[in-house]
Structure 1
Amino acid sequence: MSAADERQDAVVIGGGFYGAAIALYLARRRGFRRTLLVEREAALLSRASYNNQARVHNGYHYPRCLTTAYRSRINLPRFVQDWPQAVKRDFTALYAVARRNSRVTARQFERFCREIGAPIEPAGPELRGLFEPQLIEAVFRVEEYAFDSTALAAWAGRELEASAVQVRLGTRATAVSRGPRNVLRVALRPERGDEERVDCRYVFNCTYSGLNQLLTDGPDHHAGLKQEIAEMALIEAPPALAGLGITVMDGPFFSLMPFPARNLHSLSHVRYTPHLHWEDAAGIDPYRKLEGYPRTSRFDRMLRDVGRYLPAVLDATYVESLFEVKTVLQKNEGDDGRPILFERHPGLPGCFSILGGKIDNIYDVLERLEDAL
C-alpha cells in the first residue's frame, strides 16, 4: 500500500449528481483547493443518477408527506434555474386519481395541491378520454418536469475540471479511518494499480446504496436503510402518449414519464418495479446482489395492468429495462417521505454520510453543509 503524495482538503466518495455537486460546492463556495472526487464506475452520473425515473418533483407525488411535498415546491424552480440545459419542459404532465385502492380521493388531492401551492387544473375532455373512466376518478394537468442525466453528467465533467477538482474514475474507496494528528485516512483501490491511502480533513460519503458498507465506526451509527432492486422499463410511447408524462396515484399504480437521456419514456409500476428488497446490513453488498440478480423483466405484467387504466399504452414498443438498487430510509416507508440523510460520524470527526431520494434534495444537502462547515 502506498501513501498519496499530497494531503487533500476533502475526499468526496461517489460520483453521482450529489457527489459532483458537493465537490463543486467545496471548491467554489468553501474555498477548498484540494478536493478529490472518487467514483467506482468508468463515468460520472452513470448509476443511480441515470437509472431512475428522471422526474423533477414539484410536490404532487407526496400527498402523505407535506414536508417533502413543500420542499419540492421550493426546490423545483431553483433546479430549473440552475440547470436549464438539463430540464425537459416540453410535455404535458398529468396526475390521475384512481377510483379504487387509492389512498387519496380526487378532492383530497386537489386540496393538497392548493395547500402546498402546486399548480393544478382539471384536464380537458381530450386528455381525460385517454383514461378508462370506470377506473379513474379524475385527471389533472399539473406542472412537473423531467431531467436529462447525460446533460447533467456533461455539466459535471466541465465544471469539475474548471474548478480544479481531481476526479478519479474506476476507483473504489474501501475504508475510512482515523489517521495520525486527527486526519481522516481513505483507502482507495483502483481497477489497475496498487491500493493507496489519502489523508484529508473531511470525507463526504455519497455512495447511495453503499452508504453503510464503507464506514466501520460501529453499528450504532449506521443508517436504517431499505435496499431494493428496481426495474425501470424504457419504451417508445405511442403517438397518443408521446407528449405526456402520466402518473396514476396514490397506491399500487404507475408512472409513464419522459426519459430525456434516451428520448424515450420510462414505465414504472409500484407493484412490479420492485423485484427484491432487504434491510441493509454490514456485509450485504448491494452492488454484488445486483450483479448476481437474473434481471428477468416484468414489463409484460406492467403493461397489462397499466393498459387497464390507459388503453393507448398497449401500443407502446418495449426497448429495454434498467435495473438498479434503490435505497430509501426505513422510517419513511409508511408516508413516502423523501427527506435527506445528513449524518455526522462521532467516531470519525469530519466524516459525513449523505443520502437524498430526489434530485432536487440537493439544495437541502447544501444548506446542511453550510451549517456544518
Structure 2
Amino acid sequence: MSGFEADPTSQDAVVVGGGFYGTAIAVYLARQRGLKRIVLVEREPALLMRASYNNQARVHNGYHYPRSFTTAYRSRINLPKFVVDWPGAVKRDFTKLYAIARRNSKVTAKQFERFCRDIGADIQPVNTALRGLFEPRLIEDVFLVEEYAFDTTKLASWARRELSESGVQIRYQSRVTAISKGAQSPLQVITETTQGNQEVINCRYVFNCTYSGLNQFKGDFPGVSTGLKQEITEMALMQMPESLDGLGITVMDGPFFSMMPFPARGLHTLSHVRYTPHLHWNDQSDLDPYARLQHYARETRVDRMVRDVGRYIPDVLKAKHVDSLFEVKTVLMKNEGDDGRPILFERHMELPGCYSILGGKIDNIYDVIETLEKENISGIDGQEKSNGGVVNV
C-alpha cells in the first residue's frame, strides 16, 4: 500500500466550482462511480450563486440554434431527461413563442420551420391574439413552441441535499489557487479561504468546473488548449405588463432578443444580442475574469434594450426594470460564428487525473456525464486509464 493510499486525509477527487456542473458531477462521482472521499471547493458562501444563477434560466429545446444542428439536436435529446430528473425546478406553465424578423435575420420563417422539422421540434401557428402583440411590418411569422425555464434556487436545494447525502465535503468561501503533481499522491491541490487560510489536499482526480475561471490556477496546471472568449454580460430583470406576463418570447435571428420567465425572482429576463454583452476579451491566465467583473462599473443598458425590443413588441415599453444581473459569460472561440454550444471536456496529459469541463447550457450536463462514463475513474484503490485530449460534444 502506497503512502497516498494509507493517508486517511487523502481524497478521491476535488471538484472545483459549486455551480450546477460542479455539484452535478460531484453527485455523479459519489452515486454512480463509487468515489467515497470527495471535496467540493466553492468561492461563494453558497452553491449555484454565479453563472448558474445569473443567466436566462432557459431549458433549451433546440429552437435557439438554427445555425448549429448538433447543438440543437443535443438539446432535443437532453430536455426530456432534464424535465424527468429535475421536475420541481422546471417551470412549464407559460406560453413560449419564437418570432422571425423580416429584416436582417439569418433565417427566414420557412427555413426555421424546416429546421424544426429536421430536429423533431414541435412547432405550431399562433392565434390572432398572440400575433397581435408583434409589429407585422418587422415580424415575418410567429410560432408556438415547447420550451421551459428553470428555478436555480430549487436546483441549489437539490444540490445541497444530494451532496450531503452523498458525503461530499464542501469548502465554502474558498478557491483553488494551484494544481500540481503530488509527491505522495497523483495530484495536489492548494486552496485558500477568504481569510487567507491555506489547505493542501492530496487527491487522485481534479475536476475543474469553474466556468470563467478555467485557467486561473498556478502550479503545474497547463491551462486549457481551446481558446476561450470572456464577456461581461447584463441580464435585465423586468416586471412585464399583464399582456406579456405569461409569455416567453425570442425574436431571431439577427436582431435576436429574448424575454423569459425567471422563476427564482418571479420576474422576466430581457436580453439583447447587441446590448447584453458589455465588453469582451480573449481569456488568459494572468487576467482574472472575476476581478474584472468586480471592478466593472455595471451601468445598465436596459433603456436601449427596451427601446429596440419595443419596435417589435410594443407592450414591452410598459415593462418596469427591477434589477440587472451582471456576470462573466465564457464561450469557445471556435463557435462564435455558428452559435454552437458544445461542451469542453479536456484531459490534461501533463496532470493525469485532472479534467477541465465547460458547458454553455444547463442541459449539456448529460453530454458531460456521457463523456465521463467512458473514463476509467475509480477510488483510491483503483487505477485510471485515459487516452488524453479534448472532447467537444
Same fold (TM over 0.5): yes
Match status 1:226 vs 2:229? yes
Mapping for residues 93-242 of structure 1, pairs under 5 Å? 93-192=96-195, 194-214=197-217, 217=220, 221-242=224-245
Q: Deviations over 1:79-105 (max 9, x none)?
A: 000000000000000000000000000
Q: CA separation in 2, counterparts of 1:177 and 1:116? A: 44
Higher helix share: 1
Contact 1:15 1:37 in 2 (8 A): yes
- Specify the alignment match of 1:7 in structure 2: 10
Contact 1:241 1:312 in 2 (8 A): yes
Q: Deviations over 1:188-232 (max 9, x none)?
A: 001236211000000000000000112654767433100000000
Q: Secondary structure at the match of 1:240?
A: coil
- Specify the alignment match of 1:363 in structure 2: 366
Q: CA separation in 2, counterparts of 1:155 and 1:296? A: 34
Which of 255, 259, 266 is the matching residue for 1:256? Answer: 259
Contact 1:212 1:223 in 2 (8 A): no
- Specify the alignment match of 1:55 in structure 2: 58
The one-letter code matched in structure 2 to 1:102 is S
How much is the aligned-residue C-alpha RMSD, in angstroms? 1.4
The 1:42–1:307 alpha-carbon spacing in structure 2 relative to 1, beyond 3 Å, is same
The one-letter code matched in structure 2 to 1:133 is P
TM-score (norm 1): 0.97
- Specify the alignment match of 1:317 in structure 2: 320
The one-letter code matched in structure 1 to 2:153 is T
Percentage identity across paired residues of the two chains: 70
Q: Secondary structure at the match of 1:327?
A: strand
- Specify the alignment match of 2:247 in structure 1: 244
| Cα drift, residue 5 of structure 1 | 6.6
- Specify the alignment match of 2:36 in structure 1: 33
Q: Deviations over 1:281-333 (max 9, x none)?
A: 12010001000100000000000000000000110011010000000000000
Contact 1:204 1:351 in 2 (8 A): yes
Q: CA separation in 2, counterparts of 1:226 and 1:12? A: 23
| Cα drift, residue 182 of structure 1 | 4.9
Which of 296, 299, 303 is the matching residue for 2:302? Answer: 299
Structure 2: 5+ residue stretches without partners: 1-6, 377-393
TM-score (norm 2): 0.92
Q: Secondary structure at the match of 2:51?
A: coil
Q: CA separation in 1, counterparts of 2:293 and 2:55? A: 15
Contact 1:212 1:222 in 2 (8 A): no
The 1:247–1:199 alpha-carbon spacing in structure 2 relative to 1, beyond 3 Å, is same
| Cα drift, residue 122 of structure 1 | 1.1
Contact 2:214 2:224 in 1 (8 A): no
| Cα drift, residue 123 of structure 1 | 1.0
| Cα drift, residue 253 of structure 1 | 2.4
Mapping for residues 66-77 of structure 1, pairs under 5 Å? 66-77=69-80
Match status 1:85 vs 2:88? yes
